[in-house]
Copies of this chain bind each other. A is one copy, B any other.
């Protein structure tokens, strides 16, 4: 397999943008292409992650349509979907195609427009990530799932409500400096634990906000990456795996096997261990998700993730900064765009120009999760020195 590099990056802000997926996707892809020397004629394929465009906007075939909108009509283009991991999957497919020599240059995007939907449409749309034949029938929503998850985690490992709230406090603090974040005001522990009850014990500030947004990256093979940018970033490894489709099938509610499997693939391919990672963007759709994910990714022992956050170990200046972008909790979660949005943030860290720069960031990891753990992708990216 050939090495694959990220040579271009583009994004819109994530937030309430009053803009549809075609416009958001076109902007993000065009910016990614404009950020490097790749021309439209160089692009050989387009992969786009999108989840609820059909339900909320009545727009399907987003990948093929964006190919025409961005001036690359003709190339193979497709939409990949795996709930909130839709663009993480697009990225994994694109990496595979370059690494195996199918293409030399491809564009990968993710896009979603959500904030124009009313509450009923919105709940219906996100609920489509649940297994409707089983869990969906019970009325269990994603806040409900993560409420159960948090209850179980606290009971099992003795974590306190305040330790869990520290995730929201950290990520909202990180969002203050990030111009791409939907929420740029900090919150206190008291505000988190006193905020509106959503799905006991989850409170409002434990939950990530919806957002509109698009993000894109341009990938190129080892042989030609240096033609397109002065600072290509090598993709060290990636993983894509599935887990069980419904919570009642889990052996352990607070261990998501899709994450552990995808992480193992990515670490093995990258030939790194969790303690080689310098900066992480992971799928903090709810505060307990960040804690559990940080354990499933091998950064902390099972049951120790909450204490690690509370002690500041995952702050921007901690020993393992997690979600310096603000994560889904502050940046927002335009579902189909989130996976590529995470890669965008990590790439800025590796190039040393992030608003919340992690010192000496040389290996970045992203983690993008779909459903209540039914599918996951993990990606490891290296700094320019690793080319």
A52 and B53 CA atoms in complex are apart in Å by 11
Stretch binding the partner chain, chosen from A67-75, A149-157, A182-190, A219-227: A67-75
Select A127's contact among B58, B69, B81, B128, beta carbons within 8 Å.
B58
> Is A79 part of the binding interface, using a Cβ–Cβ cutoff of 8 Å?
yes
Select A76's contact among B83, B102, B242, beta carbons within 8 Å.
B242
1/0 per residue, CB under 8 A from B, across A330-373: the answer is: 00000000000000000000000000000000000000001100
Residues in B whose Cβ lies below 8 Å from that of A83? 60-61, 64
Whether the pair A65, B101 counts as a contact (CB closer than 8 A) is: no
A55 and B50 CA atoms in complex are apart in Å by 14
> Is A202 part of the binding interface, using a Cβ–Cβ cutoff of 8 Å?
no
A334 to B: closest C-beta gap in Å? 15
Whether the pair A61, B241 counts as a contact (CB closer than 8 A) is: no
CB-nearest residue of chain B to A246: B68
Give the size category of A's interface with B: 35 or more
Contacts A54-B54, A82-B78, A96-B97 given: A374-B65 contact, CB under 8 Å? Answer: yes
> Is A379 part of the binding interface, using a Cβ–Cβ cutoff of 8 Å?
no
CB-nearest residue of chain B to A243: B73
> Is A255 part of the binding interface, using a Cβ–Cβ cutoff of 8 Å?
no
Whether the pair A68, B244 counts as a contact (CB closer than 8 A) is: yes
CB-nearest residue of chain B to A90: B78
> Is A63 part of the binding interface, using a Cβ–Cβ cutoff of 8 Å?
yes
> Is A270 part of the binding interface, using a Cβ–Cβ cutoff of 8 Å?
no
A133 to B: closest C-beta gap in Å? 5
> Is A247 part of the binding interface, using a Cβ–Cβ cutoff of 8 Å?
no
Whether the pair A128, B60 counts as a contact (CB closer than 8 A) is: yes
A272 to B: closest C-beta gap in Å? 20
A359 to B: closest C-beta gap in Å? 35
Residues in B whose Cβ lies below 8 Å from that of A80? 78-81
> Is A92 part of the binding interface, using a Cβ–Cβ cutoff of 8 Å?
yes
CB-nearest residue of chain B to A126: B60
Residues in B whose Cβ lies below 8 Å from that of A257? 74
> Is A124 part of the binding interface, using a Cβ–Cβ cutoff of 8 Å?
yes
> Is A14 part of the binding interface, using a Cβ–Cβ cutoff of 8 Å?
no
A271 to B: closest C-beta gap in Å? 18
Residues in B whose Cβ lies below 8 Å from that of A241? 74-76
> Is A207 part of the binding interface, using a Cβ–Cβ cutoff of 8 Å?
no
> Is A35 part of the binding interface, using a Cβ–Cβ cutoff of 8 Å?
no
Q: Which of A101-144 contact B (CB under 8 A)?
A: 101-102, 124-125, 127-129, 131-133, 136
Residues in B whose Cβ lies below 8 Å from that of A59? 128, 132, 136
Residues in B whose Cβ lies below 8 Å from that of A237? none
Beyond A58-B132, A65-B245, 8 additional pairs, beta carbon < 8 A: A55-B55, A58-B124, A60-B81, A64-B245, A68-B245, A68-B246, A73-B242, A77-B242
| 12 A-B residue pairings within 8 Å (CB atoms) | A54-B55, A60-B83, A64-B242, A65-B131, A65-B374, A68-B374, A73-B243, A77-B242, A78-B240, A81-B81, A96-B102, A100-B101
